[in-house]
Amino acid sequence: MTSTQTTETREQRVERLRAQGLLVDRFGRVATDLRISLIDKCNLRCTYCMPAEGLPWLPKDKLLTDDEIVRLARIAVEKLGVDELRFTGGEPLLRPGLVSIIDQVTDLRPRPSTALTTNGLGLGKIAAALADAGLDRVNVSLDTLDRERFQALTRRDRLHDVLDGIEAAAAAGLQPLKINTVLMRGVNEDEAPALLRWCLDRGYELRFIEQMPIDGGHVWDRHQMITAQEILRSLESAFDLSPDPAHRGAAPAETWLVNGGPSKVGVIGSVTRPFCGDCDRTRLTADGQIRNCLFATEESDLRAALRGGASDDELADRWRAAMFGKRPGHGIDDPSFLQPARPMSAIGG
Ligand code: SAM
Ligand code: SF4
């Protein structure tokens, strides 16, 4: 670090980063990780995410087209300093143009890293094409290895499809393959050690996510949530965990070495161990709204601007303005916390 930087105030830092055209906020955080929701629909109905009947899906004319998504990704990479793109949903594998979108965004320069978060249904068929198109990594959500529990949790009997998808993704070289797990009390809370053993045996990296108040059915209950501490206690009943010496940076997961390493396990304690101070994310919803936080209550409408003829520079300016006002934290533990009107499946998890 130079002597100028060490004496820089927060205001000076913010001004310097703004002058560089980056997605900086008032607190000096810079967003470089863009999460793009490709579709709000899903073929599972995980109880912590969606009600059994689904949700009122976005009408087709409100969804961004493939070309619009690629254009906004290009603006983010070329003008706003974004260097990582993660495609999510809803279920992103339901988007027909997915392979072509990946193909186009991996041609951007500087080349962004690309990742996909998926429930794995259908991944078996498309994993090789995604890898050929340039996709770097994949996270597959898997909450249980037990068929009946899977059916109860997702309201669909599709565990075998998810397992096929995971295997195909690993075979296609989409590594390191990460598994995302949400534990629920009285449902799969006892499965943490078995899931970790399963992942270690196959070379996958497991990350547990605390259940958050962002579901379409509004079923979240603070007292029912399995906390990061409980997850760690359960893992420690079967494994020796030690803090990972690697620098965490803006990663949401705190990681531990398992039995001395090199294998790791991660815990994303979004509720009890928030990491908002280091957040580097910006989000684009499937209908073209910028959100500066998963829990934001305001959005900035890029779709209307884009369809109204805005130039790349105008869109970039709107995006910067939307990020500048980001709040310091999600405030889930504040008495005044309000769950966002949009559920996670419509924002992009
Ligand atoms: N359908 C894809 C999937 O399930 O991976 C992508 C979208 S999903 C919304 C992204 C991630 O959010 C998944 O890992 C899912 O388990 C997680 N998720 C959904 N609802 C959640 C909640 N209420 N709390 C914590 N994580 C949640
Ligand atoms: Fe679908 Fe993913 Fe939500 Fe499950 S978590 S209902 S797979 S969007």
Q: What is the pLDDT of residues 172-228, one digit of tens each?
A: 999 999 999 999 999 999 999 999 999 999 999 999 999 998 888 888 988 889 999
Residue 223: the pLDDT is 85
Q: Is residue 112 part of a domain?
A: yes
Cα gap 52→333, rounded to integer Å: 28
Asked, for residue 281, whether it belongs to a domain, the answer is: yes
Q: 90: CA distance to ligand 2 center in Å?
A: 6
Residue 8 lies in a domain: no
Report angle CA 347, 283, 126 to the nearest 5 degrees: 75
pLDDT score, position 1: 47
Kindly give the distance from the C-alpha atom of residue 211 to the centroid of ligand 2, in angstroms, as a whole number.
Answer: 13
User: Number of folded domains in the chain?
Assistant: 1
CA of 4 to the centre of ligand 1 (A): 42
What residue numbers bound the domain in which 143 lies?
A: 20-347
Q: Which atom of ligand 1 is nearest to the CA of 89?
A: 7
For residue 193, is it within any domain? yes
- Closest listed residue to residue 93, CA positions, set 140, 132, 54, 57: 140
The predicted pLDDT at position 165 comes to 98
Q: Residue 5 has what pLDDT?
A: 54
The 10 Å Cβ neighbour count of residue 310 is 15
Nearest Cα to 235, choosing from 194, 199, 268?
194
Q: Return the SS3 of 137.
A: strand
pLDDT above 90 covers a percentage of the chain that reads 84
In this structure, the residue with its CA closest to atom 5 of ligand 1 is 118
Ligand 2 first shell, C-beta below 6 A: 42, 44-46, 49-50, 89-91, 119, 141, 345
Provide the phi-psi class of 327: left if phi over 0, else alpha when psi is between -120 and 50, else beta.
beta
Tokens for 116? 């996909």
Residue 188 forms part of a structural domain: yes
- Judge if the upstream peptide bond of residue 243 is cis by omega within 30 degrees of 0: no
User: For residue 51, which ligand has an atom nearest its CA?
Assistant: 2
Q: Give the pair of three-digit tokens for residue 214.
A: 């962002």
Residue 3 lies in a domain: no
Question: CATH number for the domain including 117?
Answer: 3.20.20.70
Phi, psi angle pair for 227, to nearest 5°? -85, 165
Token pair for 22: 């980056």
